[in-house]
Amino acid sequence: AQTVTQSQPEMSVQEAETVTLSCTYDTSENNYYLFWYKQPPSRQMILVIRQEAYKQQNATENRFSVNFQKAAKSFSLKISDSQLGDTAMYFCAFYNTNAGKSTFGDGTTLTVKP
Amino acid sequence: NAGVMQNPRHLVRRRGQEARLRCSPVKGHSHVYWYRQLPEEGLKFMVYLQKENIIDESGMPKERFSAEFPKEGPSILRIQQVVRGDSAAYFCASSPDRQFTPLHFGNGTRLTVT
């Protein structure tokens, strides 16, 4: 079974600054994907970024980037130039392609302060 | 293209009543997943269905909960004789096949048991 751990229940950052959210996972699988989802107060689940396990290059989407350390089973999310609209709960998720299902961490509540 | 549609958005039930949550996947998607989110927690996998078949129900409580995804119509998550502990947000997600990522999420149904 896979587990996903987000060790930071809450974080805050000043607008325009950079923040890093941590995520570690445990699996014996080789073929998997990792995701970060954002859940604003509207409760909608919004995909932020995706990383294929077989790719060594870290994924980047505009102000969002990841630090994927496969050997350490670490998948942190860096948000640069934080904006007020980034305030949300962020979930790290592991997708097992063999089982066809995702396992989510318990989330990190991020508050961006003006 | 319409995304994953869940209804109702909010559902209030008294203890002992039945709750029926509906999920219409993205058109053409034959794989549906149900997740439950308790307050201040992450999403917990409940069940994975593919048209007319339950593929993985390892996250479903053994009693009172059932799910179906008929050949025609939406997927239904049914909770019989609801209790207060069933109060949560229930999310549905879909994909065209188990190798496809990421999942497309609906906006969830918030169930409140009074």
Q: Which of B34, B69, B90, B105 to mutate to test the interface with A (most CBs of A within 10 A)?
A: B105
Put simply, whether B38 touches A (Cβ < 8 Å) is: no
Q: What is the pLDDT of residues B6-24, one digit of tens each?
A: 999 999 999 999 999 999 9
For residue B64 the two structure tokens come to 């009172």
Q: Which residues of B touch A43 (CB under 8 A)?
A: 89, 107-108, 110
Neighbours of A46 (CB within 10 A): 13
Q: What is the pLDDT of residues A28-85, one digit of tens each?
A: 888 899 999 999 988 888 999 999 998 889 999 999 999 999 999 999 999 999 999 9
DSSP A31-62: SEEEEEEEE-TT---EEEEEEETT--SPPEET
In a 3-state reduction of DSSP, which class is residue A19? strand
The predicted structure's pLDDT at residue B28: 87
Do B93 and B76 contact (CB within 8 A), yes or no?
no
For residue A81 the two structure tokens come to 């130039």
**How many angstroms separate the CA atoms of A81 and B36, rounded?**
32
- Tell me the C-alpha to C-alpha distance, in Å, between residue A89 and each of A32, A86, A114, B46: 23, 9, 18, 21
Q: Which amino acid, one-letter code, is at A107?
A: G
Q: What percent of chain B clears pLDDT 70, i.e. is strictly above it?
A: 95
**How many angstroms separate the CA atoms of B77 and B91, rounded?**
10
Rounded to a whole number of angstroms, the distance from the CA of A38 to the nearest CA of chain B is: 11
> Smallest Cβ distance to A100: which of B41, B55, B89?
B55
Q: What is the DSSP letter of B26?
A: P
**How many angstroms separate the CA atoms of A4 and B40, rounded?**
16
Q: Using 50, 70 and 90 to split pLDDT, how confident is the model at A102?
A: confident
